[in-house]
Amino acid sequence: MLWKDGVPAEVRAGRPIVWWNDRGAAPAPPTVDVDEALREVAWGRPFLRAIFPELEATEGRIESPLIPLGGGGWSVPGPLYAKADHALPLTGSVKARGGMYEVLGHAKEVACAAGLLPEGTSSELLASDAARTLFAARRIAVGSTGNLGYSIGILGRALGFAVVVHMSRDAKAWKKARLRDIGATVIEHEGDYAAAVASAREASRADPSSYFVDDESSLPLFKGYMCGGLELADQLAAFGLVPLPERPLDVLIPCGVGGAPAGIAYGLKHAYGEAVRLILVEPTQSPCVLIRLAGLGVMKSVYDVGLTNATLADGLAVPSASELACAMAGALIGSVVTVSDESLLAACRAAWRDHGLKLELSGAAGLAALGAFYNDLRRRGGPDPTATIVWTTGGAHLPEFEFRAMLAAAGTSAAQVD
């Protein structure tokens, strides 16, 4: 049942739903120069390799493995894989992709403007004493629930920038602590994610030395995430998987403000066209992208439909979707699945029990949505996939005490974790 604004009654009631983007022909998204984005990522690798010892073996590449998930309790048609951004180097989060792209791009612009980086120069020069002195007089600001802030913080501080992270009430204490440990300034807000971003934006505008990373409308962040979609396409080719329109690739992606899944969706659509189905997964109380897409452009916030934005999945506790993300990839999204906190807890428990995957609740969203999505797909008579990918994010830096508490909440004793 739909309300007059297009938002399903189940969404308003906070009940899980599989929503299909069946609005007919939609305008094509703006185009992005994919090759240029890939060149920028490659340009930054020498600096990353030089400054972070953990990237020596990968020659500066920030990439995650594609892990087959054989066995376990996941009932899906065909093979199932995890695109394991929960194990991404440096941050253990998909946010590293966008954050690294934007911060390195900003550093490059500043260094070029100061004459420190002649055309054709290696990014390793960004680690020079002259560059660090230049960056030390500047700051980078961002609003975050935690993972984007850490991605911005770890690279910004490595370059020598001052970093200020505005964090919402949903942010975990351990995420604030790790930012302070690397020398970032953390400003805590009583409001939600949107309020923290707005405060960060306003404070940055008032400071001429500040550069603001805007999670709600950043094209550089989008480009970094897009390269993750292209990375997955290369890995699937190595596995010998060739999606076809009649047997598409299904990719389930956790969704907060929408920037990361929109970028990934754009990259995968560039690679596969109609041979890929993109499925976003949001908490039942925070389905901001679903509301933006289904609400005919009228509904702007989960609060507009009576929801609370309260979820244990702090990385997905976002009340309003990114307008840029919806413009760039709204027409590319095939469906949105909403999931309860209970299902996220159960998915985290099963991921650890069956596959040894240590995930934050946000990172398990794709796993939590599998049953509902494929039950609904069968009801609709949709084609089975060539393969199913769940995009995992958040986990490598999850403190052990937090992980044990989460598993206990999911019905697992501390003894079972060992």
* pLDDT single digits (tens) 153-193: 999 999 999 999 999 888 899 999 999 999 999 999 998 98
Handedness of CA 219, 220, 221, 223 (dihedral sign): positive
Domain assignment of residue 72, yes or no: yes
> Residues 408, 273: one domain?
yes
CB atoms within 10 A of CB 311: 23
CATH at 194: 3.40.50.1100
Domain assignment of residue 156, yes or no: yes
> Residues 391, 324: one domain?
yes
Contact 116, 125 (CB under 8 A): yes
- The conformation of residue 321, written as its DSSP 8-state character, comes to -
**Cα angle 378-381-387, degrees, rounded to a multiple of 5:** 60
pLDDT at position 414: 35
What whole-number distance in Å separates Cα of residue 364 and Cα of residue 182? 27
Q: Which token pair is 256?
A: 């907060």
Collect the ranges in the chain with pLDDT lower than 50: 413-418
C-alpha to C-alpha distances, 362 to 202, 286, 290, 314, 327, nearest whole angstrom: 28, 12, 17, 7, 24
Kindly calculate the radius of gyration of the chain based on its CA atoms and give it in whole angstroms.
20
For the whole model, what pTM was predicted? 0.95
Contacts of 39 (CB under 8 A, 6+ apart): none
pLDDT at position 3: 64
pLDDT at position 80: 96
End residue of a domain, out of 201, 219, 237: 219
pLDDT at position 291: 94
What whole-number distance in Å separates Cα of residue 89 and Cα of residue 52? 10
* CA–centroid distance for 162 within its chain: 24
- The conformation of residue 2, written as its DSSP 8-state character, comes to B
End residue of a domain, out of 189, 219, 249: 219
Largest Cα separation within the chain, whole Å, is 62
Q: How many structural domains compose the chain?
A: 2
pLDDT at position 28: 67
pLDDT at position 416: 39
End residue of a domain, out of 219, 234, 258: 219
**Termini Cα distance of the chain:** 46
